[in-house]
Structure 1
Amino acid sequence: MTAPISGIIPVGLGAVGGVTEAGPQAAAGADGFASVLASTFDKLQSTQNAADSLGAQAATGDLKDVHDYIIARTEASLATEMVVTFKNKAVEAFNEIMRMPV
């Protein structure tokens, strides 16, 4: 169903949304950190959009299996938490570097 979390890349939707997940080696190509960060935010947005779409289907009665919505919403929530935690750690590391004497 879903791919395991690898490194800092948030989980894809797997079978629910069809979003595939690239490993850190594929994302760390030409731009390195910037491309990993951009792809992470793109995947987070697509995960949230898929969960919102399934939520709308569940509200209108078009969704056959409510479990798909619950799984997608949980994945979106976990991906959001992971990205926020990553952001907080990056800011913390930046602040620590700025406090170092020159």
Structure 2
Amino acid sequence: MAIHSIMAMGPAMTPSTPKAAPTSFDSQQKFGTYLKEAIQEVNTAQVQSDVMTDKLVRGEDVDLHNVMIAAQKASVALSATMEVRNKVVEAYQEVMRMPV
């Protein structure tokens, strides 16, 4: 039975220097970037669904089930995005109602 050093376990087990806490501005930038990318993914799904639907309507070589799957993915993504938006607006309204 071989005994290995704890340092050989990998980077997860090695001591690290403490990192500086992210500033509020950094956190806002990261959140803004994440939100922008998420909305872009929803838009991409919508565009892909539209393209596939147009191909089907024009009679091009595209499978109906692939068109329906793309449409459902786009629909679910948009619905989820709207629910998140509604929750964010609701949370904002709740914070605005708090007494100072």
- Structure 1 and Structure 2 fold alike (TM over 0.5): yes
Q: Distance in 1 between matches of 2:36 and 2:61?
A: 31
Taking structure 2 as the reference length, what is the TM-score of the superposition?
Answer: 0.69
Q: Which residue of 2 aligns with 1:33?
A: 31
Q: 1:34 to 1:77 in 2, by over 3 A?
A: same
Q: Distance in 2 between matches of 1:63 and 1:31?
A: 43
Aligned residues: 74
Instruction: Please report how far the alpha carbon of residue 91 of structure 1 lies from its aligned counterpart in structure 2 after TM superposition.
Output: 0.2
Counterpart secondary structure, 1:32: helix
Q: Distance in 1 between matches of 2:61 and 2:72?
A: 17
Q: Which residue of 2 aligns with 1:46?
A: 44
Unaligned runs of 5+ in 2: 1-26
Taking structure 1 as the reference length, what is the TM-score of the superposition?
Answer: 0.68
Runs of at least 4 residues of structure 1 off by over 6 A? none
Greater fraction helix:
2
Q: Which residue of 1 aligns with 2:98?
A: 100
Identity among equivalent positions (%) equals 31
Q: Distance in 2 between matches of 1:76 and 1:46?
A: 9
Q: Distance in 2 between matches of 1:41 and 1:54?
A: 20
The structure with higher relative contact order (CA 8 Å, sep 6+) is 1
Q: Distance in 1 between matches of 2:69 and 2:47?
A: 13
Unaligned runs of 5+ in 1: 1-28
